[in-house]
Amino acid sequence: MKKVVVGLSGGVDSSVAAAILHNQGYDVIGLTLWLMKGKGQCCSEGMVDAATICQQLSIPHEIVDMRDVFQTNIVDYLVSGYSAGITPLPCSQCNRTVKFGPMLEYAREKLGSDVIATGHYARIAYDHGTERYQLLRAFDRNKDQSYFLYDLSQELLAGTIFPLGELNKNDTRKIAAEYGLKTADKPESQDLCLVESNGSMRAFLDKYLAPKPGDIVDSNGKILGKHDGVHHYTIGQRKGLGIAAAEPLYVIKLDTVNNLVVVGDRTKGTEKECTVERVNWVSMAEPRGTIRGEVQIRYRSQPVLATIIPGETDCVQLVFDEPQFSITPGQAAVWYEGDKVLGGGIIKN
């Protein structure tokens, strides 16, 4: 009987992933990562629900203390990014440095398993022609999470199972109900775990970054309003500027050197190309020349056609067929060929 370690967050998706594999005859071990520092976090609802699911399925449950790793790789990463005027994407960073890598290492060294599974909506296939594992979109495009998984290595893909990759969310709920799982009707998380635990991103950042009042200006330097910290804004933001104007204004630049939030109309926030760094080629080896692909520059955006030009080490230049609004430094750009994730990286400028 093959042993598999399933990452259990206490949500319905990971619960059903464990149930499916258990039903398929796997020797399943539930593993929950203890991520949050602070009073009461050791008894979070998610951890309690994960333990309950393991009891319902009659499988062992392990809890691993990852609080220091999460603090360094996610909390400090977010705070540093926002203070530098970028908008970090913590989920892809968390998947690589906190979840998949450490989980697979723990499974191998402590639990005698070389396979992990999670409740992510994505698929993995092996291409015998290229001898590479391929990361693919989930069948349910509305729930597809491949955008957040672009940074996984071949080693991690080889040791991972995504049981929900061919299901839609309704299927997942039905399976949870059929198994009588406690999480069957549990509401879905609507935001980042750090945001949910702090109430808002502003509240989270205010714990680490002091107010730093400055001016909101247009592209000519005219003062239009005041802000209480550049870190409270993001490229493309329209709401919450507190500016009365004849036309909609958007954040088009965050100037941390001069402590300015620069705003303008939509045309001033539109660009034809961008540089992407920390690139990971997933389903293909790094190409020797230019390729074409469909690129997503944020999680919920529609893929758009672009030319992908490999540059210096771990960097590419993206040239879009049509100018794109709100290309945001710190977010991920992920390029696809159909359902296949070719690669991705972090938008630099």
Q: Give percent of the chain above pLDDT 90.
A: 74
- pTM of the predicted model as reported, rounded to 2 decimal places: 0.91
Q: What is the DSSP string of 56-94?
A: HHT--EEEEE-HHHHIIIIIHHHHHHHHTT----HHHHH
What is the distance between the alpha carbons of residues 206 and 195, in angstroms, rounded to a whole number? 12
Q: What is the pLDDT of residue 268?
A: 84
Q: What is the pLDDT of residue 209?
A: 87
Instruction: Answer yes or no: is pLDDT of 279 > 50.
Output: yes
CA distance between the termini of the chain: 50
Q: Which CATH number fits domain 270-347: 2.40.160.40, 3.40.50.2300, 3.40.50.2020, 2.40.30.10?
A: 2.40.30.10
For the ranges 59-63, 183-187, 272-276, the lowest mean pLDDT is seen at 183-187
For the ranges 10-24, 189-203, 222-236, 327-341, the lowest mean pLDDT is seen at 189-203
Mean pLDDT estimate for the chain: 91
Higher pLDDT, 63 or 195: 63
What is the distance between the alpha carbons of residues 90 and 155, in angstroms, rounded to a whole number? 21
Q: Which CATH number fits domain 3-197: 3.40.50.2000, 3.40.50.300, 2.40.50.140, 3.40.50.620?
A: 3.40.50.620
Instruction: Answer yes or no: is pLDDT of 339 > 80.
Output: yes
Q: In this predicted model, what pLDDT tens digit does every residue of 105-129 receive, in sequence order?
A: 999 999 999 999 999 999 999 999 9
Q: What is the pLDDT of residue 41?
A: 47
What is the pLDDT averaged over residues 177-192? 81
Cβ pair 36, 70 in contact under 8 A: yes
Q: Give percent of the chain above pLDDT 70.
A: 95
All CATH 3.40.50.620 domain ranges in the chain, comma separated: 3-197
All CATH 2.40.30.10 domain ranges in the chain, comma separated: 270-347
What is the distance between the alpha carbons of residues 349 and 347, in angstroms, rounded to a whole number? 6
What is the distance between the alpha carbons of residues 172 and 163, in angstroms, rounded to a whole number? 10
Q: What is the pLDDT of residue 186?
A: 82
Active-site positions read 94, 193
On the CB side of 44, CA atoms within 13 Å amount to 22
Q: Which CATH architecture has domain 210-264?
A: Roll (2.30)
All CATH 2.30.30.280 domain ranges in the chain, comma separated: 210-264
* Residue 225, H or E segment: strand 223-227
Q: What is the DSSP letter of 96?
A: I
Tokens of 200: 């808002």
